[in-house]
Structure 1
Amino acid sequence: MDNELRFAILIDADNISDKYIKIILDETANNGIATYKRIYGDWTSPQLASWKNVLLENSIIPMQQYSYTTGKNSTDSAMIIDAMDILYSGTVDGYCIVSSDSDFTRLAARLRESGMQVIGMGEEKTPKPFISACNQFKYLDLLYSNQQEEEKEEAVEKQSGSRNPESGKNKRKDIKPKDKELKHIRTTINAIIDKFSDEDGWLSSGKLGDQLSKRMPDFDVRNYGFSKLTLFIKSLEDYDVEKISTGNGQKQIYFRLKARKQEKV
């Protein structure tokens, strides 16, 4: 536990729904410990009433920010100032900035310049510059849809008393990535394999996943309805997938381009 990263969760209540709170906390917990949990908005506004019900049970501190001027978002300024104060305190290793607002692009870039791990969370409408400024970016609306589908599936299985053998493999059959999006993913995967594969063209799943997240901050196999990287790679049908011995009695999953001379490029 001592080696876990410490995160400050800063939530922009003005454009994030309270229905995402479990996903926000779970995704942060996957990366480390939340030492700060703050949410910003004008709590005198009835529009934030739904948030008030989840703050206490999740130990999230509401930060009051009045809307002094119509058309100006003072919440953004408050979050940015607090983020920098926390940075200079030296008490965290990273930030989880929850917003779909591009105004946090420069903040994310500045925090990364200081060696912070920055995880952005927002909806699909989030502008690309903010996404690119983060180490990782999670689409809350997609993860929420997946969560709802899983709960429905579990309810059906519980009612029927049997488990679907396909459960956990590809839960969202309705998710179909755009051709342009898939082309970009394939091009990125190919470039990673060319650069990091061994002399036989094989690359471990761990290395591929690490490099994908560095080059595509918003890449997450769950966005496409898959639970594991291996299942997603298999669905592309362009790669050989094998378990190869690591030499210590264990096996690890490796990927390689199909129909390719096994020579390092």
Structure 2
Amino acid sequence: MQTDIKIAVLIDADNVPSHNVKEMMEEIAKYGNPTIKRIYGDWTRPQLGKWKNLLLENAINPIQQYGYTTGKNATDSAMIIDAMDILYSEKVNGFCLVSSDSDFTKLATRLREAGMLVLGMGEKKTPDPFIVACDKFIYLEILGQDSDEETKEKRTGRPQVDKINPKLIRLISSTVSDLADDDGWAFLGEVGNLLQKKQPNFDSRNYGFQKLTPLIKSINKFEVEERENQKGRFKLIYVRNKSGK
């Protein structure tokens, strides 16, 4: 956890499910300290009842927002106004916008222009414009995954992880090439960082792997090499394309 980074967490209760809130907050804590935690919705609606106990358990402040007009999402406007107020207060270094709604695309872009770290969280149905507007986008479906994926698939009726496909392999391969030395080797930490910049929703967990190293090792297109660092406290991992030999 990077305690020096203060994050404002703003949740759209209308467009994300209430389960996995604990796992969601644990994920956010990897990137900084969530000093502001607010969730927006019309709390008079019975559909949001599942949230209430979870908010107390996770110290999330509910913001009441009535739906003034049928067909218009007042929650979006309230979140955007609050986000700009928080931005100008200069109390945080970043934002986590939790929604599957593309209406927050412009907000994410504006916050990044102001130098803020912008994390996005939402379901896999989230439109691409919102995803690419964030520094990193995390799918809620991968949080709190069962160790037995088959059990979860039977329960939900759909697969929980994406398949490793040629598009993913090309993305990793081109990124390795971008960073490779004269012998074709690239430091895996730098590969991971560049992958994130190229594709904000890239996450090894989308493909059933907790870390990038086992994901790459599972693909026979790459070589992986562990090297001792100068201090010998831990090993450095390098990767190269097999065709580069």
TM value normalised by structure 2: 0.90
Matching residue of 2:118: 118
> Whole-Å Cα distance in 1 between the matches of residues 182 and 229 of structure 2?
15
Alignment of 1:92-241 (within 5 A): 92-144=92-144, 146-147=145-146, 149=148, 175-177=161-163, 182-241=165-224
How much has 1:185 moved relative to structure 2?
2.0
1:83 aligns with 2:83: yes
What SS class does the counterpart of residue 218 from structure 2 fall into? Answer: helix
* Inter-CA distance 97–174: structure 2 relative to 1 (3 Å threshold): closer
How much has 1:4 moved relative to structure 2?
2.1
Preserved contact between residue 225 and residue 238 of structure 2 (Cα < 8 Å): yes
* Inter-CA distance 224–140: structure 2 relative to 1 (3 Å threshold): same
Preserved contact between residue 2 and residue 31 of structure 2 (Cα < 8 Å): no
How much has 1:190 moved relative to structure 2?
2.0
> Whole-Å Cα distance in 2 between the matches of residues 51 and 149 of structure 1?
27
* Inter-CA distance 3–45: structure 2 relative to 1 (3 Å threshold): closer
* Cα deviation code 1:205-249 (max 9, x no counterpart): 111111111111101111111111111001121000110233333
* Inter-CA distance 148–83: structure 2 relative to 1 (3 Å threshold): farther
> Whole-Å Cα distance in 2 between the matches of residues 69 and 256 of structure 1?
56
> Whole-Å Cα distance in 2 between the matches of residues 65 and 174 of structure 1?
33
* Inter-CA distance 187–2: structure 2 relative to 1 (3 Å threshold): closer
> Whole-Å Cα distance in 1 between the matches of residues 62 and 2 of structure 2?
28
What SS class does the counterpart of residue 143 from structure 2 fall into? Answer: helix
The amino acid across from 1:257 in the alignment is: N
* Inter-CA distance 259–2: structure 2 relative to 1 (3 Å threshold): closer
Percent identity reads 53
How much has 1:195 moved relative to structure 2?
1.9
The amino acid across from 2:57 in the alignment is: E
Preserved contact between residue 93 and residue 116 of structure 1 (Cα < 8 Å): yes
How much has 1:204 moved relative to structure 2?
1.2
The amino acid across from 1:247 in the alignment is: Q
* Inter-CA distance 226–128: structure 2 relative to 1 (3 Å threshold): same
The amino acid across from 1:201 in the alignment is: G
Q: Which runs of 5+ in 2 are unaligned?
A: 153-158
How much has 1:191 moved relative to structure 2?
2.0
Matching residue of 1:60: 60
Q: Which runs of 5+ in 1 are unaligned?
A: 154-172
* Cα deviation code 1:83-140 (max 9, x no counterpart): 0000000010111100000000000000000011111000000000000000000110
How much has 1:20 moved relative to structure 2?
2.4
> Whole-Å Cα distance in 1 between the matches of residues 41 and 93 of structure 2?
25
How much has 1:189 moved relative to structure 2?
1.7
> Whole-Å Cα distance in 2 between the matches of residues 94 and 257 of structure 1?
35
How much has 1:148 moved relative to structure 2?
6.6
Count of aligned pairs = 237
> Whole-Å Cα distance in 1 between the matches of residues 211 and 135 of structure 2?
20
* Cα deviation code 1:136-167 (max 9, x no counterpart): 001102324x24748x89xxxxxxxxxxxxxx
